[in-house]
Structure 1
């Protein structure tokens, strides 16, 4: 995991992002194309969060109006981070393939979310606007679900006691994986869990990508436990390197 520069970078449970270029995640139990697609979607989401984190000071500058962060501008930066992290040009992925369809749906979702929030982002006279990586990720995932039309879903979740947004609560399968795998003392750091499992009555391939607290995250999630942070939530009392969030991808078959 790459260390972030801003206190709200990295963890997409509440205040999440990854830093400048996310380190490759090691995947357990590979399952061919579906695993590659799941990893790609996670990488693209993290890349978008990274751009928001880099631009957070500008977004929250009350003296600036137009921040120059249109949907297309942000997508261009996101694609470059994705390319540097994966070695793949997202535009070169075959649009007729499942990977290409879903990746383009995700990129379209990024553009849609940014364009829909220009009034908030560009508001003068307002400092902290609440448009942080976690909010960006949630909105992108919601837009992606609509565009994917039942073919795939992406959600940022985590240990139940670390969830701030009720919509991000882990389902029964996610909860079991988090507790029995990702939180296990012998689970290798940065290893994701993947499995073919029926979901909602449909055959599916699922990927769980763990994310961990670093020092910058603890400004909001650390100690003293219960103290209210800048976003209005009480701190969780988290510690360095603890599991804080999970990117959960469902690919229906």
Structure 2
């Protein structure tokens, strides 16, 4: 498992339609980039929180784990604030783009819903693996968020780390991940790559993910051994580039 857990990229496309559903007319490119950065960090905060609670979630000796959506949310809020300085409990007063506020609030709500759906399984005694891992959390939360916001979310990783074919990177993501995987690229948790397309219609943001201590149990060695999920371990090393969270926002 991974500090920012299973290798993947999140792609976000936002637009604003007449249906009352939030779509995106992003403000300035700078506002869009910051909004994308914050969305990526919040999704990752949820994944990190799920990763940190794997021992509790998968404890076969306990019934009720006490890991409710509300407990999860408070841990996510604390993780996100530690990384960004932004308090999700008081979004209205935070110095962030206005377009980011409803999106962050909704992403947190959809994150809680994902954890809520797993409550019956989490609280079963005698079962070691419950299926709620950071990668699963990211995929399901992204899907829920997309249904509400028309924001397209996608997890991906370099092909050598790819476990779910649905998460296969597109050409842009593959190119950006090559840059992010370069040993000379700064290993900064908040460092992002961003690019505006040639027509000025959209901006893409990518937040790199690296294997943390929590990741090695599933993604470390020995390479080829089965992990708790039944997948083959990739032989990843602590601090090695593992994927990214990618965000795409419309500027028109």
Report the TM-score range of the alignment, normalised by the length of the smaller protein: 0.7 to 0.9
1:18-61: per-residue Cα shift (whole Å, max 9, x none)? xxxxxxxxxxxx94111211121122122222322232222111
| Gap regions ≥5 residues in structure 2 | 9-27
Per-residue deviation, residues 190-219 of structure 1 (Å, max 9, x unmatched)? 332111237xx9932111111122454333
- Matched residue pairs, number? 227
Q: How does 1:15-54 map to 2 (within 5 A)?
A: 31-54=29-52
Please list the CA deviations of residues 91-139 of structure 1 after superposition, one character each: whole Å capped at 9, or x if unmatched.
Answer: 3224993111211120111121111111111112211212112211221
Q: Is 2:100 the partner of 1:99?
A: yes
Distance 2:69 2:118 in 1: 9
Q: How does 1:1-253 map to 2 (within 5 A)?
A: 7-13=1-7, 31-94=29-92, 97-149=98-150, 152-179=151-178, 181-190=179-188, 191-197=191-197, 203-253=201-251
Q: Structure with the greater relative contact order (CA < 8 A, sep ≥ 6): 1 or 2?
A: 2
CA distance in 1, matches of 2:147, 2:173: 22
Query: Residues 109 and 147 of structure 1 are in contact (CA less than 8 Å); yes or no, is this contact kept in structure 2?
Result: no
TM (norm. structure 2) is 0.80
Name the residue aligned to 2:25. none
- Contact 1:11-1:245 at 8 Å conserved across structures: no
TM-score (norm 1): 0.79
**What SS class does the counterpart of residue 217 from structure 1 fall into?**
helix
Counterpart for residue 17 of structure 2: none
Q: Which runs of 4+ in 1 moved over 4 A?
A: none
Task: Decide whether the 8 Å contact of 2:206 with 2:247 is kept in 1.
Answer: yes
Distance 1:111 1:238, change over 3 A: closer
Structure 1: runs of 5 or more not aligned: 1-6, 15-29
